[in-house]
Structure 1
């Protein structure tokens, strides 16, 4: 028994030992499991504590409900035309604030159905949505793609940016929880529906309703509410003004979700969304080119302000419409067009920067740098006129080479001797090259700068044909200065700026005008510009009243220009391709000139016909020298009759009353050199004075001294060179084929 008992004891002990050996690893796993659970629970509790503290701190830091109601995220700018007509409203438009009771229930239901179906059951963050967001961030490209709750969207719109990162998502969640802790569900929904962006500059349902349906948000129907709720996901894509079909399709999705969630009945879900009447959109396409140019100037004109403002501009609604039509109707296929029109004081009446602002908002009227072609000859001829040329002066159209450059006329022919007026009217390149070489290419560049060209100007010989790139608005400014008889013109587009309640913040003051060239130079260039339209390359710009202007065409027909003025309005037109490719048949005297004429007929219709001042009142240094200063008083002259007899000075007054003398022969006029008469008065000649050698002389020493500036008997001193006088025009030769 003892042995058997011992064996049992040993067996039990061995079994216990084996069990203890088997139980040891299980105890470690359990121990670590307990530790992990303990630490995990502690971390969760600590995280919850930190989250609670963060939410509590955020809730205490949040503005009050009434402060949030009054907060606007950006400035609203209403742009008005010169007659006060509203052109466009830029920036956010908030409309009227609607309280929770004023917001239609169907609008609340539509927004909850499509954006946050568990809105009334979550604490600001949807746990299921959050898990999806965290999973996407962990497995994807760090972008959080889950849909936010209405409370999270409100937090993002009011306090954060749209950066789609995990960090921003976490802060958004904290703020959402804080909002839910501080405000009621109805208050949050009221804030959201009055602040969320719906596209078209509309913030809040009242602004959206007025923008898209022309009535207050408190009057929204089921179909209209569905359209507005559907736009939140992608305002630019689902806006009814951008894509009606997309807006209608998205509204159908909203109605289906509302029916599925029990907000509306099946029959209500069958509403015809396509029958909703949309607000007719204003024609704002080309106006935006003008506002893009004018509104940035507010940074310089106004002190920093964030309150809503109204900007009164110089733009004329009718002229802007006429300019847009003139460009789109005449621009060649595949090309772009631009137009700038200035009033006599520099006010921008119309500005078109392209054929379609929606397609491309690049402003070719104010930003594009293109070659002006022969319209640049304005500055060449201005410099020549200032140097002493007149429209009647003779020049020679002949092959010429200047510093290795040999320009040619587009016709390939030369007209020979012509006057300056003809050379300009028919845009003769060889004459422009000679004039530029004579007055100096640097002088031409200086003249262009003087008239407002702001871009760099090259001074090699071919610059006279418009090889330097310019802005259209600068060229129009230069021609406007000619229209203003040589006085500077400063383009401007803003007349005044007021706050929404009418407080004046800025008013335009007339810019100081300076005389850029003498009157006779302005008159001379106007003479040339008028002839270019009347008989030269700009015939297509005629509008039935005096027009002065100049065409311009660059090599290979890449650019077409026409700039001119009539009745105080100066207008410039450019056409070409953005890629600088050739445009078949494009010349300044074709499409651009026709667009100019189409616009100007409307622009000047209510203005009196104005004739140009082309009367050349030349300065003394350009006139014939004063004969009296050289030859003395005409009454002291000796005259010779046709028989060769001298007639002494100081004849009786009765013989001087008749300008033709006693026998009908004309006497010399004052200030003219006396010419031998065909028949003179018969008088006995006075004894001739005698010189130092005793020989008789026709006139006395005193007169010789006065006439020659030296002592009698000495050789007359050389006279200073006399300026060439304006010559009488010769018969105008038949011009070569006009070039531009």
Structure 2
């Protein structure tokens, strides 16, 4: 009797505590009925920096589809890869959560998620992308509400019509029209697989920005469908072979427009048409595209350089003024300026020199350029003839490898230099090996160029951005932006400018020099001439500009003696000479 009484008391108090906890999490929940009543998602209009129209979104909303309108393999593909027990669970998949928890525990990091389609729908309809315990609990509460309010077919239709699938497209019909030029009811099996693979990471698997990643993800979905018994192994193989994402019709500054719109759902959640004033300078964009094509079709073709990328940004705040992510957007919308990670070669050396300066060295201090062996590794110096001791300024100007490795070791090693580069905004895989001094990490052109801005602007780290003003329904919105942060002591930034200008004045970057202009920069060349870089800056009356250039081939095949000091430096020169001083 006493035990029963204790259990009763415990149950009462437990229910009260649970109710209080749920109330605490639910008090600020949005009204689900109001969100469900909204049927329109924002259109996007991009304006150039001067207000001229850059691009306008097409039919991003599509038609509201019913399950009966769609081929069965489209919702089937979605459930196979996202939520196989959708038809049987009550909003939360206990089995899936347990499986994900075990997989994450074994991996020591998050490698699987356990969210159901209903939870994803709750998040997309009602909540922000914030990652917190409160958000997850609210997501679960709303998932329960949705399961009670709608049938499984209705939930699936809501999801298919509302899910964000990249490039401003909400819903499978809008995405099918955008990526494949057909309505959702006419998509093929492989197209359905690509669409079903997008919700996990719409930006990463976007067919417009990275067709290869989209097709690899589509192949994973086909394998999941085969595993779920929805298609045969032969069907999976045949559909995988048929995958061929059509190129997007060219438009002005397509790479820039895609980059700006990649995170719209996260940056501007909610409803209403968007008008975004961007940082793009149409005159500079046209100049970059014209000069890049002229170089690649002339001397680049003769030297086996088939691709290239160029960015121009304002060194004061990181505003991107021009971006060419390749030779032809129509032929390849893959953005080599933002998505391709390549070894920068000696273009990485300024971070080694900065680490040395921060360790107490000065531009006129000396370092040995003699041969060097570290275990089984010995960096070479190319055509440079050893002089014994040379100044840091000379060593950077002539890109002396053995001096760079010695400076890296004197500054504290690869980890210290990597930390300096990351402090300025370089992101990528930076090996903890002395070869880092020679640029054996992997970086993007935009990230490396933005890091150079701190040398030109007096020591401030900037974050590349492309939007300065956002408006929705005649109401100004907050634009996510990171203010420049002082990351280098101004006197050391001045020393770096002095040495980088010596590179152009008397070193490997002489081809970048423009008469009467103050120019600094660094060349970079990787093994077998697979990548060639020039990252430089120029002082103009309007603003200090950073211009980053990369030349190479998508398959990493070697070019014929194309170093950073040849064609990339020449392209920098050709672009800069047309920019007013």
- Distance in 2 between residues matched to 1:291 and 1:377, nearest whole Å: 32
- 2:285 — aligned with what? 320
8 Å Cα contact 1:477-1:490 kept in structure 2: yes
Which residue of the other structure, out of 35, 50, 62, is the alignment partner of 1:83? 50
Asked whether 1:490 is paired with 2:463, we answer yes
Asked whether 1:530 is paired with 2:497, we answer no
Which residue of the other structure, out of 163, 182, 205, is the alignment partner of 2:70? 163
- 1:664 — aligned with what? none
- Distance in 2 between residues matched to 1:160 and 1:71, nearest whole Å: 20
- In the TM superposition, 1:702-721 aligns within 5 A as none
How big is each residue's C-alpha offset from its partner over 1:1-20, in whole Å with a ceiling of 9 and x where there is no partner? xxxxxxxxxxxxxxxxxxxx
8 Å Cα contact 2:279-2:319 kept in structure 1: yes
- For structure 2, the residue ranges without an aligned partner over 5 or more in a row are 1-36, 76-173, 183-248
8 Å Cα contact 1:74-1:91 kept in structure 2: no
- 2:450 — aligned with what? 477
Secondary structure, aligned partner of 1:602: coil
Secondary structure, aligned partner of 2:283: helix
Asked whether 1:598 is paired with 2:574, we answer yes
Which residue of the other structure, out of 362, 366, 371, is the alignment partner of 1:394? 366
Asked whether 1:515 is paired with 2:486, we answer yes
Which residue of the other structure, out of 411, 420, 425, is the alignment partner of 1:452? 425
Asked whether 1:338 is paired with 2:245, we answer no
8 Å Cα contact 1:552-1:560 kept in structure 2: yes
Instruction: Classify 1:359/1:453 alpha carbon distance in 2 versus 1 (closer, same or farther; 3 Å).
Output: same
1:513 deviates by 3.0
1:542 deviates by 1.2
- Distance in 2 between residues matched to 1:558 and 1:162, nearest whole Å: 50
- 2:94 — aligned with what? none
- Distance in 1 between residues matched to 2:278 and 2:70, nearest whole Å: 37
- Distance in 1 between residues matched to 2:553 and 2:311, nearest whole Å: 18
- For structure 1, the residue ranges without an aligned partner over 5 or more in a row are 1-69, 95-153, 169-194, 204-282, 608-740
- Distance in 2 between residues matched to 1:71 and 1:449, nearest whole Å: 43
- 2:534 — aligned with what? 562
8 Å Cα contact 2:384-2:400 kept in structure 1: no
- Distance in 1 between residues matched to 2:178 and 2:250, nearest whole Å: 16
Secondary structure, aligned partner of 2:478: strand
Instruction: Classify 1:417/1:291 alpha carbon distance in 2 versus 1 (closer, same or farther; 3 Å).
Output: same
- Distance in 2 between residues matched to 1:387 and 1:429, nearest whole Å: 19
- 1:291 — aligned with what? 257
8 Å Cα contact 1:90-1:201 kept in structure 2: no
Instruction: Classify 1:71/1:519 alpha carbon distance in 2 versus 1 (closer, same or farther; 3 Å).
Output: closer
1:467 deviates by 0.4
8 Å Cα contact 1:75-1:91 kept in structure 2: no
Secondary structure, aligned partner of 1:406: coil
Deviates more, 1:375-384 or 1:407-416: 407-416
- 2:336 — aligned with what? 364
- Distance in 2 between residues matched to 1:436 and 1:162, nearest whole Å: 63
1:481 deviates by 1.1
8 Å Cα contact 2:345-2:440 kept in structure 1: yes
8 Å Cα contact 2:454-2:488 kept in structure 1: no
8 Å Cα contact 2:250-2:330 kept in structure 1: no
- In the TM superposition, 1:60-75 aligns within 5 A as 75=42
1:303 deviates by 2.4
- 2:376 — aligned with what? 404
8 Å Cα contact 1:91-1:201 kept in structure 2: no
Instruction: Classify 1:402/1:285 alpha carbon distance in 2 versus 1 (closer, same or farther; 3 Å).
Output: farther
How big is each residue's C-alpha offset from its partner over 1:267-300, in whole Å with a ceiling of 9 and x where there is no partner? xxxxxxxxxxxxxxxx954611011111123223
Instruction: Classify 1:442/1:157 alpha carbon distance in 2 versus 1 (closer, same or farther; 3 Å).
Output: closer
8 Å Cα contact 2:338-2:446 kept in structure 1: yes
8 Å Cα contact 1:557-1:587 kept in structure 2: yes
- In the TM superposition, 1:535-684 aligns within 5 A as 535-544=506-515, 545-567=517-539, 568-603=544-579, 605=580, 607=581
- 1:92 — aligned with what? 59
1:199 deviates by 8.8
- Distance in 2 between residues matched to 1:366 and 1:166, nearest whole Å: 34
- Distance in 2 between residues matched to 1:584 and 1:373, nearest whole Å: 17
How big is each residue's C-alpha offset from its partner over 1:32-86, in whole Å with a ceiling of 9 and x where there is no partner? xxxxxxxxxxxxxxxxxxxxxxxxxxxxxxxxxxxxxx99876421111011111
Instruction: Classify 1:507/1:329 alpha carbon distance in 2 versus 1 (closer, same or farther; 3 Å).
Output: same
Instruction: Classify 1:397/1:354 alpha carbon distance in 2 versus 1 (closer, same or farther; 3 Å).
Output: same
Alignment RMSD: 3.0
8 Å Cα contact 1:286-1:324 kept in structure 2: no
8 Å Cα contact 2:530-2:556 kept in structure 1: yes
8 Å Cα contact 1:286-1:353 kept in structure 2: no
1:163 deviates by 3.3
8 Å Cα contact 1:402-1:433 kept in structure 2: no
How big is each residue's C-alpha offset from its partner over 1:582-602, in whole Å with a ceiling of 9 and x where there is no partner? 011211111111111222223
Instruction: Classify 1:311/1:160 alpha carbon distance in 2 versus 1 (closer, same or farther; 3 Å).
Output: farther
- In the TM superposition, 1:86-165 aligns within 5 A as 86-92=53-59, 159=66, 163-164=70-71
- Distance in 2 between residues matched to 1:395 and 1:425, nearest whole Å: 13
- 1:618 — aligned with what? none
- 1:682 — aligned with what? none
8 Å Cα contact 1:301-1:506 kept in structure 2: no
8 Å Cα contact 2:312-2:321 kept in structure 1: yes
For normalisation by structure 1, the TM-score amounts to 0.47
Instruction: Classify 1:361/1:161 alpha carbon distance in 2 versus 1 (closer, same or farther; 3 Å).
Output: farther
Instruction: Classify 1:497/1:514 alpha carbon distance in 2 versus 1 (closer, same or farther; 3 Å).
Output: closer
How big is each residue's C-alpha offset from its partner over 1:107-153, in whole Å with a ceiling of 9 and x where there is no partner? xxxxxxxxxxxxxxxxxxxxxxxxxxxxxxxxxxxxxxxxxxxxxxx
- In the TM superposition, 1:371-390 aligns within 5 A as 371-390=343-362
Secondary structure, aligned partner of 2:469: strand
8 Å Cα contact 1:340-1:473 kept in structure 2: yes
- Distance in 2 between residues matched to 1:291 and 1:410, nearest whole Å: 41
Instruction: Classify 1:159/1:380 alpha carbon distance in 2 versus 1 (closer, same or farther; 3 Å).
Output: same
- Distance in 2 between residues matched to 1:553 and 1:199, nearest whole Å: 39
- Find the structure with the greater CA-based Rg: 1
How big is each residue's C-alpha offset from its partner over 1:208-248, in whole Å with a ceiling of 9 and x where there is no partner? xxxxxxxxxxxxxxxxxxxxxxxxxxxxxxxxxxxxxxxxx
1:412 deviates by 5.8
- Distance in 1 between residues matched to 2:283 and 2:180, nearest whole Å: 25
